[in-house]
Amino acid sequence: MIVNDVDLRGYIGVFDSGVGGISVLGALVRELPNEDFVYFGDSANAPYGEKTTDEVRALSSRIVDGLVERGCKAIVIACNTATSAAAEVLRNRYSTIPIVGVEPALKPAVLARRHGRVLVMATPMTVRLEKFQQLLGEWGGEAEVDSVPCAGLAARIEQGNLDAPDLADQLQKLVGPYANRVDAVVLGCTHYPFIRRQIKNVVGDVPFFDGAEGTARQLHRRLEEEGLLKEGMSPGNVRFISSKDDPEELKLYRSFFKRA
Ligand code: DGL
């Protein structure tokens, strides 16, 4: 899966099913500008959100095995779906390596809009699994929360061309019924921040929340705790790898990174 000869010693490995986790990568680089990051997009197997939990666990384990074997010092699961399905399994497997995940930013949204109506958009798997259900149990009482499983949306974002009318139609079908009826939106899939503007066009100009900044701060804390922060002030490297064997894919990743 990862080309054999890459040396990733000292790098932080970041992965997602495809382009989505690049929205998290942007926040990671802003938080830790002199660290070296390698981003692995599993575009050959995207989307994860409509697979079985076991499939996502197996895919995530294979990716993390590859990153750790090549020397990564920490892992960021830049995917809500893979975090829900596999974070625990991965942490048990690699107990000495910091593994940081991302979860829907329900808590900050609810605290900002107490007693309001909060719309959560996420993949079908994220909405279904226990991790989100627990989050809902903890914070759902403070606001009226509507969770919308957005089947097909991450797969569509993978194709790029984000201003095309078919994407606007897809959003209309998924969240059109919430137009001007919600006080906040939680983007519970790391692909969705790339279409924040398009979602606002449908639901209205309310505050949006995602897990990227919280994940970046958590990674910073974990590296500090473990004494793993890179020394020196020079800007770090950012490299991209894709499971899709197509140079166009890496161009797409770089174009998303410019917008992250
Ligand atoms: N970006 C991912 C997430 O945060 C996965 C989307 C998908 O592959 O279905 O959930």
How many whole angstroms from 233 Cα to the centroid of ligand 1?
33
Q: Do 232 and 113 fall into the same domain? A: no
Q: Do 121 and 170 fall into the same domain? A: yes
CATH number for position 28: 3.40.50.1860
Q: Do 128 and 192 fall into the same domain? A: yes
Among the candidates 209, 224, 250, a domain finishes at 209
Q: What is the DSSP letter of 229?
A: P
With respect to residue 249, please indicate whether it lies within any of the assigned structural domains.
yes
The two tokens of residue 143 are 């606001």
pLDDT for position 127: 97
Ligand 1 pocket: which of 81, 147, 156 to mutate (most atoms within 8 A of CB): 81
The pLDDT of 62-88, averaged and rounded, is 97
How many whole angstroms from 18 Cα to the centroid of ligand 1?
8
Cis? peptide before 47, omega within 30° of 0: yes
**Residue 199 near residue 175 (C-beta atoms within 8 A):** yes
With respect to residue 26, please indicate whether it lies within any of the assigned structural domains.
yes
Ligand 1 pocket: which of 60, 80, 103 to mutate (most atoms within 8 A of CB): 80
pLDDT digits (tens, 9 = 90+) for 228-259: 999 988 999 999 999 998 999 999 999 999 99
Which residue range is the domain that position 58 belongs to?
12-102+212-259
With respect to residue 1, please indicate whether it lies within any of the assigned structural domains.
no
With respect to residue 232, please indicate whether it lies within any of the assigned structural domains.
yes
pLDDT digits (tens, 9 = 90+) for 97-156: 999 999 999 999 999 988 899 999 999 999 999 999 999 999 999 999 999 999 999 999
With respect to residue 25, please indicate whether it lies within any of the assigned structural domains.
yes
Side-by-side strand order, sheet with 74-77: 99-100, 74-77, 12-16, 37-41, 238-242
Angstrom distance (rounded) from CA 173 to CA 50: 18
Reported as a pLDDT band with limits 50, 70 and 90, residue 3 is low
Q: What's the structural domain count of the chain?
A: 2
Q: Do 142 and 179 fall into the same domain? A: yes
- The catalytic residue among 122, 189, 238, 260 is 189
